[in-house]
Chains A and B, each alone.
Chain A
Amino acid sequence: MRIEAVNLDKHFRKVHAVKNLSFVVEPGRVTGFLGPNGSGKSTTMRLMLGLDSGGGETLYDGKKLSSHKPVTRTIGAHLDAKFFHPKRTAYSHLRMLGAEAGISKARVHEVLKLVGLESVAKKRPGGFSLGMGQRLGLAGAILADPQVLMLDEPANGLDPQSIQWLRDFLKNYASTGKSVLVSSHLLSEMELLADDVVVIARGNLIAAESMPAFLSRATGSSVVVRSPQSDKLAELLTAQGIASTSDGARTIVIPGQTTDRIGEIAFTNGIALSELSPRTASLEQVFLEITESGQDYRLGETS
């Protein structure tokens, strides 16, 4: 299912939290939703679900969410790990959420088993850890096997094994043609998970494109060369107007070049290479570079 957010806009009194945001979440892909703290990610998700009132609209396969029946087979949302009554058992919580789509008891047990909460199904979740709360929230979202999953920071509080499980689960989910929109602060995790990214800062859209396209925005892409003749290669590059820096013994880093170009120069001049590799910027580097000016709550310098 294709999700189209059109001109989403939201004011909180004097704060313009979301500014005319438009983007698309394509089916069959995991879309990462990134932004600094307070950038408007959660507000945008609430606008998309119709929980908050504001400008613009969100269309699910061209229709408003309320036009889809049953809604829970269209979208499953997990917005917070603590959205449950602490005295209502995990099983009862899911039974309640399954009312709209007529979910069977067997499916509730199946989902509890899937997220690893079967042993605590009859326990009240007031004592659940953050990670267990996340799993319960995810269970609620996937209960009716919806066409769209919308998850806000679902990896918070999960242990590494659970994060890996979540990554595999979401990738598999999207691979069946469903849409996944997931926000996260864990950028290294998002780099492994997301096919597309939507980046916002201070409520403004910064980027909405595929992950490779976003990573290619980095100004810090470079080529790493290791060679017994690294000094000679550096001289040759300087003669051709290409800057390089030494990066340890027999290793040089050449910014702003491609491996094809450097390999050709080395080959032409008979220089043996032990390593020739691109060093692309990580999602974190690109994210920090692009959203630097859009951070609302700036941190102080560390000494």
Chain B
Amino acid sequence: MISNLVYEWRRLWSIRATWIMTFMYLVIAGLLGAGPLFLGDGAFGTQTWAGLYSTNANFLCLVMLSVVASQFFGHEYRYGTIRLTLTEFPKRERVLLAKTLILAVYVTISTFLGWAVLGVVGSIAPEGSIGTEGPGLNINGGEASQLWEILVFGFAYCVIAMSLTMITRNLAMGIVLPLLVFAVIENLILLFSTLAKGKMDWLVDILPFTNGTAWLTHLPESPNAGLIFASWVVGSYVIGAAMFFKRDA
């Protein structure tokens, strides 16, 4: 299993795209975090540290991570290297496990680097732009559980992206589909739901990213949001894995 992990690690970092997307992720996280602090001139209210660190969960940041996540299978199928990988490691379940573990490591490293960038941004922010009161949790007060939830949310988003790439064998689909659903389709459904006066509530209740963000923000009216979001993540992963195991390389 160690050799599987070494293989995946080398595969991940030996292409420039990984470095570029990681760099862009950090830049975007920094800019999104700095925006309300430096440009708002108080218009956005007082930001908390937790709010600042939540920037990593912004979909623009997640898109950067999902590009790398989609490459785990997308590049393999696009350039035919999946046949080299599966010749070297005939047990596909190990290949999938190694890719998933390395993805988890990658998301963790990137997220922590993102927080480091945001920490620097917060430390040089204008006096009074970051307070201890406001939405979210008070990191200065020692409550850090929400940081782990942001990390888990980012990883879950990437698992969906990777799974869609496994299913479609198409790099672009793994990037575009989650983005489209998260940023456009779910918002349209929410809009139509409002117009439909409750007739579409059942659909709203099962939307993946609406539930994901509800879980992340601890919305009291969505107690099962985490479970529903997890079902989407696990469901897409299981379907992707089944297709990866069954189909010809």
Partner-B contacts on A (CB < 8 A): 46, 49-53, 65-66, 70-72, 75, 77, 79-80, 82-89, 92-93, 95-97, 99-102, 140
Contact = CB atoms under 8 A, between A and B. Distances in A.
A88 B90 contact: no
A71 B80 contact: no
Interface string B71-90: 00001000111011011111
Interface of B: 3-4, 6-7, 10-11, 14-17, 75, 79-81, 83-84, 86-91, 246, 248-249
Given A46-B248, A50-B86, A88-B15, A102 B10 contact: no
Contacts of A65: 90
Given A51-B248, A65-B90, A92-B14, A83 B3 contact: no
Chain B contact surface mostly: helix
A46 B7 contact: no
Nearest to B12: A96
A96 B14 contact: yes
A93 to B, nearest CB: 8
Contacts of B91: 66
Contact of A83 (B6, B79, B246): B79
Nearest to A67: B90
B86 A71 contact: no
A68 B58 CA distance: 46
A49 B89 CA distance: 11
A87 B241 CA distance: 27
B90 A71 contact: yes
Given A82-B79, A83-B79, A85-B75, A51 B87 contact: yes
Contacts of A72: 88
Nearest to A91: B14
Contacts of B86: 49-51
A143 to B, nearest CB: 10
B90 A83 contact: no
A46 B90 CA distance: 12
B248 A95 contact: no
Contacts of A95: 10, 14
Contacts of A99: 3-4, 6-7, 10, 88
12 contacts: A50-B90, A51-B86, A72-B88, A75-B87, A77-B83, A83-B80, A83-B81, A87-B16, A87-B17, A95-B10, A96-B10, A101-B3
A73 to B, nearest CB: 11
B15 A87 contact: yes
A82 B4 CA distance: 23
A257 B181 CA distance: 78
Interface centre among B14, B84, B87 (most CB of A within 10 A): B87
Given A51-B248, A75-B87, A100 B7 contact: yes
Given A50-B90, A66-B91, A85 B7 contact: no
Contacts of B83: 46, 49, 51, 77, 79-80, 83
A84 B3 contact: no
A292 B87 CA distance: 34
A72 B6 CA distance: 15
Given A66-B90, A66-B91, A102-B3, A83 B14 contact: no
A89 B79 CA distance: 14
Contact of A51 (B6, B81, B246, B249): B249
A100 B4 CA distance: 7
A86 B3 contact: no
B15 A49 contact: no
A95 B88 CA distance: 13
The 6 closest A-B pairs by CB, nearest first: A99-B7, A92-B14, A51-B249, A66-B90, A83-B80, A52-B248
